[in-house]
Structure 1
Amino acid sequence: MKICSIEGCAGPHSAKGMCPVHYSRMKRRDDRIARDHGTDSNSRKIKGKYHPIEKGQRFGILTAIQSLGKRNERGFWLFRCDCGNEIEKASKSVKESINPSCGCRPRSSTHGLRDKFQGSTRRNAAEYESYKSAIRRCYSQKCASYARYGGRGIKMCEKWKESFLSFLADMGKRPPGTSLERLDNNKNYEPENCVWATAKQQTRNRRDTVKIQFNESIIPLASAAELLGVSYAVAYRWMVSGELKRIDQ
């Protein structure tokens, strides 16, 4: 399945390499730029004024450095990208671009995945969805789970954040019936703290899971019940009576 080319978006491809949301934003942006240039979206002349580029002005991750004059009736500028590259671009194309860059941004928008798999995420769709979901939980305040992750200071290590392929190399293929889990819920998404875990394993690793001291180890009460061959209710009564020592988190 093709995905949106905008950095940080995993929405399905719709038109011009973008998902429906970003395509709609691009159309609105085009209409606004057209009004500034004296034309509407249907190229009819309307009242307005052309706004020239100024030195030092930023467009996305590009900074205008020097005007290069006109070429074939089109104004050109020299821009410096945040990645360090310098590139000559038509001023109109830069101002009308929804995601202007020297060319580095499209390659990074899928975190290195498209370069290796010829534009397809289908082969690693399950792993990529887990990866993108973790990023959203850590960095998108619009995410419903943000308060429990990014809101508590949970982040993703730079190595993974910059490259999905690095994440895939460290984690490997996702086994059926599992999802991405942090061993320590107070630490970040990083190689030494992440595993593929089943729903049952994740439930026992929650911050509010009841844990006890068992044979010099701290384990969930549910796991202790299984080891002792009794029901969870019996193990809970033993804990309340003091026969099993509860560990406060």
Structure 2
Amino acid sequence: MQYIDMKGKRYGRLTVIERAHNDKRGTVYWKCLCDCGKETIKSGQLIRLGKTKSCGCLGVEFLKSIGERTKTHGMGKTKLNYVWQEMKERCSNPNHKQYKNYGGRGITFQESWKDFIEFYNDMHATYTEGLTLDRIDNNKGYSKDNCRWTTALRQSNNKRNNVYETVDGITATRSELCDLYKVPRCTFYWRISHGMTVEEALKKTTTKGT
């Protein structure tokens, strides 16, 4: 099987020593030496894509640096600090479970928000308990101009894969239209599954079973 020879090349903190093995799917793994001195075996594909840059020490240092900065202002255990940390992790840490949907597709955060106090100064005035941080334009990064506090439902309506419909000149997600026309979601989707159009499913007079 042909493979890309990575021996001797450097990626982030990793210097490739030699080919290690292939997994059952044919993915080639390489033994690497990290700048911290530790040897590690990583997927060649993930290394080349930039999703693996160290033996894991980079992520540890990142989390440690966040912890050290939050100690200085006394808000390390607040909800706002948790939101800030998660935002940075999603955008900056390749090991975060949501990185592929954020940093992995180019979503960043404004430079000044590397400092929690700057984030706090920009966003705390409009925050109330129970709200989540939402980007107004889902294809742009986190910044004061593109962020707002919103409910979890509204944030879910801002997802990239939501389906929008137009009824009576109103364009909204199906969930929002159900709320507007006061139709239970289970009823709406039952009607759709039985051949009704979106408008029919929203406007049909309710009878037993439908």
Q: What band does the TM-score fall into relative to the shorter chain?
A: 0.5 to 0.7
Aligned CA distance change for structure 1 residues 214 and 180 (closer, same or farther; 3 Å):
same
- 1:40-96: per-residue Cα shift (whole Å, max 9, x none)? xxxxxxxxxxxxxxxxxxxxxxxxxxxxxxxxxxxxxxxxxxxxxxxxxxxxxxxxx
Secondary structure of 1:110's counterpart equals helix
Secondary structure of 1:128's counterpart equals helix
Deviation at 1:199, TM superposition (A): 2.0
Report the TM-score when normalising by structure 1: 0.46
Structure 2 distance, partners of 1:164, 1:214, is 43
Structure 2 distance, partners of 1:191, 1:218, is 26
Gaps of 5+ in 2: 1-35, 38-60, 201-210
Alignment correspondent of 2:166: 213
Deviation at 1:183, TM superposition (A): 2.2
Structure 2 distance, partners of 1:149, 1:134, is 9
Deviation at 1:198, TM superposition (A): 2.2
- 1:103-129: per-residue Cα shift (whole Å, max 9, x none)? xxx8xx628x82xx3xx225x721111
Alignment correspondent of 2:117: 165
Alignment correspondent of 2:69: 110
Gaps of 5+ in 1: 1-28, 33-98, 100-105
- 1:201-227: per-residue Cα shift (whole Å, max 9, x none)? 222222222321244443111111111
Report the TM-score when normalising by structure 2: 0.54
Alignment of 1:153-232 (within 5 A): 153-161=106-114, 163-172=115-124, 174-232=127-185
Count of residues paired in the alignment? 136
Structure 1 distance, partners of 2:180, 2:91, is 36
Alignment correspondent of 2:75: 121
Alignment of 1:1-249 (within 5 A): 110=69, 114=72, 117=73, 120-122=74-76, 125-161=78-114, 163-172=115-124, 174-236=127-189, 237=191, 241-244=196-199
The amino acid across from 1:121 in the alignment is M
Q: Which has the higher contact order (CA 8 A, sep 6+)?
A: 1
Aligned CA distance change for structure 1 residues 139 and 242 (closer, same or farther; 3 Å):
same
The amino acid across from 1:175 in the alignment is T
Aligned CA distance change for structure 1 residues 157 and 212 (closer, same or farther; 3 Å):
same
Whether the 8 Å CA contact 1:137–1:143 is kept in 2: the answer is: yes
- 1:110-159: per-residue Cα shift (whole Å, max 9, x none)? 28x82xx3xx225x721111111101100110111100100111000112
Structure 1 distance, partners of 2:142, 2:100, is 16
Whether the 8 Å CA contact 1:238–1:244 is kept in 2: the answer is: no
Query: What is the RMSD of the two structures over their aligned residues, measured on CA atoms?
Result: 3.3
The amino acid across from 2:69 in the alignment is T
